[in-house]
Amino acid sequence: PRQPGDRLAASYINFYIGNGVIVVPQFGDPKDKEAVLQLAGLFPDRKIIPVIAREILLGGGNIHCITQQQPGRQVEMPDTRP
């Protein structure tokens, strides 16, 4: 568990590229706006969506970490009980 005073790994590079969008973490820092502007310049055809990421950081990840692939269908697992 995180303790009061522990540092968080806040990084703008942990953004997510989606269909027509870029989801970029925000931290309540003056650099947030600069990160949005930089990504808008790099991805001019995509909508930039800023998301406050502090609560995600507390869990040890960031935007890209929580947007990983999900199975397209239910996978049946064999019963391995003895």
Residue pLDDT, tens place only, 2-29: 677 877 778 888 899 999 999 999 999 9
Q: Is residue 20 part of a domain?
A: yes
Burial class (CB in 10 A: 0-12, 13-18, 19+), 50: middle
The pTM score is 0.71
Q: Is residue 9 part of a domain?
A: no
Q: How many domains does the chain divide into?
A: 1
Q: Catalytic one among 42, 58, 65, 66?
A: 65
Residue 36, SS3 per DSSP: helix
Domain that holds residue 33: 16-67
User: Helical H runs in 11-68?
Assistant: 31-42, 54-58
Q: Is residue 78 part of a domain?
A: no
Burial class (CB in 10 A: 0-12, 13-18, 19+), 43: middle
Q: Is residue 48 part of a domain?
A: yes
* 7 noted as active-site residue: no
What's the rounded mean pLDDT across residues 42-50?
Answer: 97
